[in-house]
Structure formats: structure tokens, C-alpha cells
């Protein structure tokens, strides 16, 4: 290739690459705070150990709290959950992408087996956010809001403090 053609190709690549979509990278959740009895199990394990502030939790990790336990987990940049007392939740999907200083994708899916989870999601990026709390009865999904999901005696309850949440049944 001639030098001017090489320069032209490099210039075109520099202009076009920022416009290409960036694939989201898998991320770990980070434990922001822990109070009372809170334990976690690694992906694929049924062995639980005490959970501490600052711990990184990969996809597939399970968190459970005792009757006095509460944990706050940052699931992705711009989204967090509070796991209430007597609860069990599994991190099923966590991904995040940013391009040119803007969030291009935020994905957080958690599976609530029992107890209560409250979620806080950055409301400035609803079109690129896929946040879901899955329960035995269905899914509560939001794009930018503050809401809670409770599983009690096999029934699912969803409460919305701010924004909108779509709930759908899996039965």
C-alpha cells in the first residue's frame, strides 16, 4: 500500500471506530456494605462463608442473609441492590459497556429465591439498561428507577417507589 493510502485508511479507522457498538464486558458485583449475618457462596458451590465489604462477587455467586443481615451490592456502575434480612439472591448476569464517556449497555439480572431485594438504578440511561429481578413466579424489570421485590411463602410482591417497573409471570 502506498503511504498516502495507509494514512487515509488510518484516518478512516480513527473516525469510524468510535461509532461502532462496544460489546459489554462481564463485571463482578462489589459488596458496598454488610450488616449482621451475611454469607456468600461461589458459583456452583453450596458452601457459604461470611461476606465482607469490598468483596468481589462473580456471576453465579449466591448471597444469603440471616434474620439480622442486610447487604448492599453494586451490581454494575450505576446500579445497586440491597438484600434484606432472611433473603437469598443469586447473581445471574452482570455486564457493562461504556464508549466515549457514555454508558452504552448496563445489564444486571438477579434471581431472588426468598426474602426481599430493593434496587436502585441510574435513571439517566433507561434505553441502555436491562435490570431484572427474577423470582419463582416471574420477572420484575426496570430501566431507571427505585423498586423492591419480595418473595414470601412462594408469592412475589413488587413495590415501586419511583419510576416504572414491568412485571411478568413465568407460569
pLDDT tens digit string along 21-73?
456 799 999 999 999 999 999 999 999 999 999 999 999 999 999 999 999 99
Q: What is the pLDDT of residue 3?
A: 52
Q: What is the pLDDT of residue 5?
A: 46
pLDDT above 70 coverage of the chain, percent: 78
Local structure of 42: helix, strand or coil: coil
Report the DSSP pairing between strands 165-169 and 155-162. Answer: unpaired
DSSP 8-class letter at 53: T
Q: Of the candidates 65, 77, 80, 61, which has an alpha carbon nearest to the alpha carbon of residue 142?
A: 80
Q: What is the pLDDT of residue 31?
A: 97
What does the pLDDT average to over 9-26? 52
Q: What is the pLDDT of residue 164?
A: 60
Asked if 142 and 150 touch (Cβ cutoff 8 Å), the reply is no
Q: What is the pLDDT of residue 165?
A: 60
Task: Please give the residue that has the higher pLDDT: either 90 or 142.
Answer: 90
Q: Cα–Cα distances in Å, from 105 out to 56, 68, 82, 90? A: 20, 35, 22, 21
Mean pLDDT of the chain: 83
CATH number of this structure's domain 21-169: 2.60.120
What does the pLDDT average to over 129-158? 79
What does the pLDDT average to over 15-25? 53
Q: Cα–Cα distances in Å, from 99 out to 19, 80, 96? A: 9, 21, 11
Q: What is the pLDDT of residue 24?
A: 77
Segment of 74-88, 118-132, 133-147 carrying the highest mean pLDDT: 74-88
Amino acid at each position: 500500500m502506498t503511504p498516502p493510502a495507509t494514512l487515509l485508511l488510518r484516518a478512516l479507522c480513527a473516525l469510524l471506530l468510535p461509532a461502532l457498538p462496544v460489546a459489554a464486558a462481564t463485571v463482578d458485583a462489589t459488596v458496598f456494605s454488610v450488616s449482621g449475618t451475611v454469607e456468600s457462596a461461589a458459583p456452583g458451590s453450596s458452601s457459604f462463608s461470611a461476606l465482607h465489604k469490598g468483596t468481589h462477587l462473580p456471576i453465579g455467586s449466591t448471597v444469603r442473609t440471616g434474620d439480622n443481615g442486610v447487604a448492599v451490592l453494586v451490581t454494575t456502575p450505576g446500579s445497586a441492590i440491597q438484600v434484606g434480612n432472611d433473603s437469598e439472591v443469586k447473581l445471574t448476569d452482570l455486564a457493562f459497556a461504556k464508549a466515549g464517556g457514555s454508558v452504552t449497555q448496563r445489564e444486571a439480572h438477579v434471581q431472588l429465591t426468598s426474602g426481599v431485594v430493593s434496587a436502585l438504578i441510574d435513571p439517566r440511561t433507561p434505553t441502555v439498561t436491562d435490570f431484572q429481578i427474577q423470582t419463582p413466579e416471574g420477572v420484575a424489570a426496570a430501566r431507571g428507577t427505585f423498586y423492591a421485590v419480595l418473595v414470601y411463602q412462594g408469592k412475589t410482591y413488587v413495590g415501586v417507589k419511583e419510576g416504572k417497573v414491568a412485571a411478568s409471570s413465568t407460569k
